Amino acid sequence: MEYEGQICRAPMERASFMLPVAVGCSYGGCRFCMLFRHLNWRALPLGQIQGELQRVKLAGGSPKQVFLGDGNAFGLPTDHLLEILRMIRQYFPSVEAVNMDATVTNIAEKSDGELNALFEAGVRCLYLGIESGLEDVLRFMNKDHTIPQAYEQIGRIQRLGYTYAAHIMTGIAGKGRGEENARALAAFLNETRPCSVTNFSVFLHRRAPLWSDIEAGRFLPADEAENLREERVLLEHLTVDGLVYDGFHDMIEVRIRGSIPRDREKMLAKLDKAIGDRAHLPPVYAFVE
């Protein structure tokens, strides 16, 4: 299948069969995000999806887990998603879970009956862009949810049996607010109990709307050393038993991975070393073209 746009999925889905069902993002308003800005959100034709399922079947594929891309596939109409789930089951009856990205709003737009039907049809885990634990930061970044809305919608899916996985970004609160954000985010995550947390750490794209905020002095970026310290506070305060954590700082080539609480001390030690290594270096910012 010819792939349009950018492949974007959490590392926890690296072994899943990546099945594109849509192009772009149904929201597209987050000020820091450049992922799908050049694409118009649209569903891919069912015939194209069926063709991909046929191709993988003929190639001998036998996936246990499927990840529906692109952007936030959960934004597709429920009937359309149910038809895709039916086709997946038809070609691969042994599939145990179908997972995808979603926004909090995507969940809010579906009734309990729709959410239940999707769960019964095989959807198990939704990846949500939680990003920050601070209300004013979510508002500034133009996320399409508030903290109370996130609590409410995560509660709805969990009561039906779904799990959720959180995407977060150190640095999203800006210079001097990393620790504050880490404490607020830890409180949110401890309460909502995701199965995993992926920290993509914020990238400062020169073509994203956030860049005009940086130029105008409305947003002061944190450097990567502050982002590492923020991550340290977050990991110190997470209490969700068995939570899988994966944190990227691609700009300085630091990656922190492990399970809470088993690997906490190992991860903190790695962070301490990375913070210490940066102590006498000039600050690095995650600017990208």
Binding site for ligand SF4 (CB under 6 A): 25, 27-30, 33, 35-36, 71-72, 103, 129
* Residue placing its CB nearer to ligand SF4 in the complex, 137 or 233: 137
To ligand SF4, the closest distance from the beta carbon of 69 in angstroms equals 11
For residues 16 and 72, which CB has a smaller minimum distance to ligand SF4 in the complex?
72
We find the least distance from the C-beta atom of residue 120 to ligand SF4, in angstroms, to be 26
Residue 204 near residue 287, CB atoms below 8 Å: yes
Q: Are strands 97-102 and 123-131 parallel, antiparallel or unpaired?
A: parallel
Residue 27 φ then ψ, to 5°: -105, -70
Closer residue to ligand SF4, CB minimum distance, 35 or 256: 35
Q: Which is nearer to ligand SF4, 132 or 227 (CB)?
A: 132
What distance in Å separates the CA atoms of residue 132 and residue 142, rounded to the nearest whole number?
Answer: 12
Q: How far is the CB of 38 from ligand SF4 (least distance, A)?
A: 12
Instruction: Reduce the secondary structure of 9-37 to three states and give it as a string.
Output: CCHHHCCCEEEECEECCCCCCCCCCCCCC
* Short-list 14, 111, 120, 33, CA closest to 72: 33
Which CB sits closer to ligand SF4, 41 or 285?
Answer: 41
CB of 48 to ligand SF4, least distance (A): 21
Q: How far apart are CA 256 and CA 49, in angstroms?
A: 35
Q: In the bound complex, what is the minimum distance in angstroms from residue 59's beta carbon to ligand SF4?
A: 30
Interatomic CA distance for residues 90 and 268, integer angstroms? 46
Amino acid found at 15: A
